[in-house]
Amino acid sequence: MREEKFMENNLGKIVPVISGKGGVGKSTVAVNLALALAQQGKKVALIDADFYGPSIPTLLGGGEMKADHEGRLIPPERNGVKYVSLGFFLSNPDDAVIWRGPMFNKALNQLFHDVNWGVVEYCIVDMPPGTGDAQISLVQMVQIAGAVVVTTPQEVALADVRKALSMLQKVNVPVLGIVENMSGFLAPDGTRHEIFGSGGGRALAERQGVPLLGQIPLDPAIREGGDLGEPVVLEAGESAARQLFSGLATQVTTELEQESFSGQKTAIVN
């Protein structure tokens, strides 16, 4: 049944972007990854499944949901990325979403199956942090090609990421690799400051036997682009941040397209 639903919606390779804890820049990574994939000629969908903190509309500068003649939702599109978020359905963007698991599951199912996505090659899913109902529901609902795991370098984040990796192993979801976000800050004078420590993401990737997909530094341009609804990937020119996200997109597609790719990459080293 999962395979049938997966094919029915033409959502191609479904790639959740997950984190063990909040505040590590997961949504920013998801948005820039989706846009970078589109810039590389892919047909991309982006689903904001972080219902308790939906930030995709802000990061992409808003958007409006419409309906087709069959009553299915038509998602807005930005620079080749079709996207949907619960944020579009809140009368007040500051309203809290206070739901138990069954309501969450129903809403998540609707974002996948009641939206007229057209044909999509890559579907990026911005997941809420942690290892709860959302992650279990997604695994039961669709076939996942592989997960991208986002962390920051410090131990408090890495400890939660190890739990997330353990969860992915138990539900048989392949891990495409780890993204180390907020990986140092390069000051205008050229001095590098390791504000959240250094090397944690790389060490974890090596220990778990999965690729380190990228190290994204603290960059004011990334934060400013997100606040303004103009993600850094859309900047003119070849900024360092844009090149990093473009490289991340290439890494993700390479991992997905490898014929030898298998669930063994989720192996946890104790």
Q: Summarize pLDDT for 227-251 with one digit per residue, the tens.
A: 999 999 998 778 889 999 999 999 9
Average pLDDT, rounded, for the chain: 86
Domain count, the chain: 1
Confidence tier at 146 by pLDDT (50, 70, 90): very high
Token duo for residue 139 = 């695994």
Is 80 within a domain?
yes
pLDDT digits (tens, 9 = 90+) for 114-143: 999 999 999 999 999 887 778 888 998 999
Q: Which residues pair with 173 in a beta bridge?
A: none
Q: What is the DSSP letter of 118?
A: -
- pTM of the predicted protein model: 0.88
Whether 31 shows a pLDDT value over 90: the answer reads yes
DSSP SS3 for 2: helix
Rounded to an integer, what distance in angstroms lies between the CA atom of residue 242 and that of residue 74?
29
Token readout for 15 is: 């790639």
Determine, yes or no, domain membership for 269: no
Name every residue whose Cβ is closer than 8 Å to that of residue 24 and which is 6 or more positions away in sequence.
129, 150, 151, 152, 157, 181, 182
Alpha-carbon distance of 39 to 254, in angstroms, equals 16
Give the residue carrying structure tokens 């997966």.
6
- Lowest pLDDT segment from 21-25, 99-103, 229-233: 99-103
CATH number of the domain bearing residue 218: 3.40.50.300
Position 270 in a domain:
no
> Does residue 211 belong to any structural domain of this protein?
yes
Model confidence band, residue 156 (pLDDT cutoffs 50, 70, 90): confident
Q: pLDDT value at position 136?
A: 85
Lowest-pLDDT choice from 16-30, 92-106, 150-164, 172-186: 92-106
Res 28: pLDDT? 96
Q: Do 246 and 47 touch, CB atoms closer than 8 A?
A: no
**Residue 139 structural domain:** 2-264
Exposed/middle/buried for residue 144 (C-beta within 10 Å: 0-12, 13-18, 19+): buried
pLDDT for res 267: 39
Please state the rounded mean pLDDT for residues 8-18.
84
Rounded to 5, what percent of the chain is helix, strand, coil?
A: 40, 20, 40
What 3-state class would DSSP assign to 38?
helix
Interior angle at CA 67, CA 1 and CA 101, nearest 5: 45
Determine phi and psi for 166, rounding to 5 degrees.
-65, -40
CB 228: neighbour CB atoms within 10 A?
11
100 belongs to a structural domain? yes
Instruction: Quickly tell me which residue has 């903190």 as its tokens.
Output: 53
Q: What type of residue is 183?
A: S
In the block, residue with structure tokens 């020119």: 237
